Structure 1
Amino acid sequence: MAKRFLNIIVPFLEYLLMFFLLVMVAINFADVMGRHLFNHPIYGIHDLTEHLMALVVFCGLPLVTIAGMHLTIDILDAFLDKPSMQWWRHIVILLMVVILLLVAWTFLQSALEAADISDVSNELRLPRGPLYLFIAISALLSALGLFYQHYMAAEPLIEKPDEEGAL
């Protein structure tokens, strides 16, 4: 059941991420053209870019986490990859899951508080509560995906690219 859920949510997040990137590119292109051709920028472009950047980052977080593609420092890999140090990898994974759950909890609280006080952005008055809720859901999906990927999945859910970057 968990694998089926992830097989649905991963493509959904990929398409959502592409959509947010497309919108961000389009509005920034329109803003630059408006500035240079008509001397009139898009009102509220900073609010839109700020919200879209958060959506892009937190759409990608579960995808990167589930695929195990976070940036890593491999200076100690020769030491930590030994079978006798396997316990260390388990502690690190559990610590990452706990941190992601704390991020989700914090942003859930922020979303509820933002809804209570009607927190909005400066220029366009965009409500911040839904954005915080999206971030909370993203962090929760990342934590669950990381836990599932490392402790329950028999095979990787998302293939990692090889050294040249191709799948």
Structure 2
Amino acid sequence: MYHRIERAAVNLAAVLLFGLMLLTFVDVVGRNLFNKPLTGASELTEILLALVIFLMLPQVARRNEHIVIDLIDQICSPMVRKVLDAIACVLASIMFGLIAWQCWILANRAIGYGDSTAALGIPVGPVLYGLAIMAGIVSVASLIAIVPRNRKAEPAPGEPAHEPVIV
């Protein structure tokens, strides 16, 4: 069940990213060739970009695949690295919990004021509620990432089987 939800989120993010690409293309062509940019393109770009990022963050958090800088990994024991990874997961959970909480407050305010985007009149509150929910899911996924997993395990259905690339 979880893999279906994860796959649906990935597919939705891919569709939104493709839409973002088309939106940018049409806006640039309209601006440069016809001197007529697409009305509301910046608003739609902001909303779509936020949605794409927040749709993918739970998967990144659950897999513990955030971008990291390994400054002391070479001098630490495996046990110390595990403890540091667990602390990082707890801190990420707290931070995304705070983001969820603040987004929810902002969404309540936006709904109360009837806040909407300037050019297209898109209501801001529902978008902020969506971001708050996704940030809450990231918070929980960060805690789930504390549980040690075998990195060499078989990939989930639909996941590519690959080794990490070291650059």
Scaled by the length of structure 2, the TM-score of the pair is 0.83
2:145 is aligned with 1:149: yes
More helix by share: 1
CA distance in 2 between counterparts of 1:141 and 1:59 reads 10
Distance change >3 Å, CA 159–CA 91, structure 1 → 2: farther
Deviations 1:86-145 (A, max 9, x none): 433322221211111111111111111111111111221211111111111111111222
Give the whole-Å Cα distance in 1 for the aligned partners of 2:127 and 2:76: 38
Deviation at 1:84, TM superposition (A): 4.8
Partners of 2:161 and 2:72 in 1: how far apart? 21
Q: Cα offset for 1:81?
A: 4.2
Q: Any stretches of 5+ residues in structure 1 without a counterpart?
A: none
AA aligned opposite 2:92: M
The reply to whether residue 42 of structure 1 matches residue 38 of structure 2 is yes
Output the aligned Cα RMSD. Answer: 2.5
TM (norm. structure 1) is: 0.83
Alignment of 1:1-167 (within 5 A): 4=1, 6-84=2-80, 86-151=82-147, 161-164=162-165
Contact in 1 for aligned 2:30/2:38 (Cα 8 Å): yes
| Shift in CA distance, 86/36, structure 1 to aligned 2, threshold 3 Å | closer
Between the aligned residues of both structures, percent identity stands at 27
**Relative to 1, partners in 2 of residues 1:87 and 1:160: Cα closer, same or farther, differing over 3 Å?**
farther
Q: How many residues align?
A: 161
Q: Can you give the 5+ residue segments of structure 2 that lack an aligned partner in the other structure?
A: none
50-59 vs 141-150, greater mean Cα deviation: 141-150
